[in-house]
Amino acid sequence: MSKIIKSFRVVEEENTFVEEEIKNEEENIFLEEAKKKYDEIISKALKDADRIVEEANEKSDIYLNQAYEKSKKIFNEWKEKGYKEGYDIGHKEGYNGGYESGEKVSNKLIEEALELKSNYINKKENIYREIEEDVIELVINICEKIIYDKVEEDSEYIVTLVLKGIESLNSTDNLTIRVSKEDYDIVEMSKDKILAKASLVNDLEIRLDSNLSKGDCIIETASGSVDVSIKDQVEEVEQLLNDILNSE
């Protein structure tokens, strides 16, 4: 993960502000729908995986039975040939020839059966891998939906981001906060509130940055800057989940 100062604490504290704010009925309905979709993905994938293993076992059994039947047939054919061409010599040749030919066919078919089963097992593992990727994508979509919806509904959400960002700073004497046009007024009006809650901050300057979008926020200090933008946090969550997936 990047060592650049981030305010990922905003999303990883035990009782995050996102969790505290999820109260309205629409979001509860959305979460239920997301959970239902998640259960459907897992259920379908597990059924597919079980079906694949079952098919592999069935086909392996078929190959093994074919190997046995073919080897027995070849053995009997050579044995019968031995009887016809001469009992003593022919019987011995028929037995040996039938055994060797039957063994070759049997071994070949057994190898094919084992290879087939191995291929199906690999396919099953790939399905589980795809499940993990689908679940991660679903979790990311849920996070984005909840966070961005909250930004749209709660005009003071950006103020919460600013305060959380300030908490992550070591140096807080004089700060410059850059926000989007959409968030500028609410942050400017909340300046006294921010100063009151951030006791270590002596002075605070609010700047409008036309390059930023709603929900974006950058806090500048003498020693560097902190990006507490919503999109930055979502990217952090996505990177974290992908790192977990790739480490397995």
Give the pLDDT confidence of 4-13 residue by residue, as tens digits. Answer: 334 333 334 4
What confidence tens digit (pLDDT) does each residue in 183-240 have?
999 999 988 888 888 877 888 899 999 999 888 889 888 878 888 888 777 777 777 7
Please say if the pLDDT value at position 21 is more than 80: no
| pLDDT tens by residue, 145-155 | 777 776 677 77
Structural contact between residues 122 and 128, judged by C-beta atoms closer than 8 angstroms: no
Position 211 scores a pLDDT of 92
User: What is the structure's pLDDT at 225?
Assistant: 83
Q: Which residues contact 220 (CB under 8 A, 6 or more apart)?
A: 175, 176, 177, 178
- C-beta of residue 234 within 8 angstroms of C-beta of residue 10: no
Q: Note the pLDDT of residue 19.
A: 44
23-153 matches 156-247 in fold: no
Closest CA to 175 of 155, 160, 158, 194: 194
78: tokens are 């050579």
β-bridge mates for residue 221, sequence order: 224
pTM greater than 0.85 (yes/no): no
CATH superfamily name and code, 156-247: ATP synthase, E subunit, C-terminal (3.30.2320.30)
d(CA 216, CA 198): 20
Question: What count of residues does the chain have?
Answer: 248
| pLDDT score at 208 | 94
Class of domain 23-153: mainly alpha
pLDDT at 178 over 90: yes
User: Which has the closest alpha carbon to 231: 152, 143, 112, 167?
Assistant: 143
Domain boundaries, the chain: 23-153, 156-247
List, for residues 76-133, the tens digit of each pLDDT value.
565 555 545 544 444 455 445 555 555 565 566 666 666 766 776 677 677 667 767 7
Q: Which residues pair with 204 in a beta bridge?
A: 175
Cα 189 from chain centroid (whole Å): 41
